[in-house]
Amino acid sequence: MGLLSRKPDTASQSKTAKELTIINRLGLHARPSAMFVKTASRFKCEVWVEKDGERVNGKSIMGLMMLAAGQGSKLLITCEGPDGDKALEEIEGIVLRKFDED
C-alpha cells in the first residue's frame, strides 16, 4: 500500500524548558511581546509559553499578550526542535535585560 513511516530524528528534536520571571516594570506588554516573538521566530523550533496553566505559541504576539504577564509573573518557556537550546538562551537573555526597557 506504500505507506512509509519515518522515525523522528531524536537528535534534532531536543526539548528544553525553563521557568523565567518577568522583571521589567510594565510586564509583557506590546513592545516586549513583539521583541519576544521576533527573537523566537528566528529559530527552527517550536516555542511555547505557559502561565497559570494557559499555554500559548511563543511566536504569536496575540497569544503572548493574552497571558497578561505583569511584573513578577512566572512563565514556563518550552522550546522543542533542532535549535531549541539556543532559542531558550536568547529568550532568557531578553527577559533578563528587561526587554531593554529599564
d(CA 8, CA 50): 25
| Of 14, 18, 26, 29, catalytic | 29
Q: What is the DSSP string of 50-70?
A: EETTEEEETT-HHHHHHT---
Asked about 67 being catalytic, the answer comes back as no
Half-sphere exposure of 73 (CA within 13 A, CB side): 25
| Residues with catalytic roles | 29
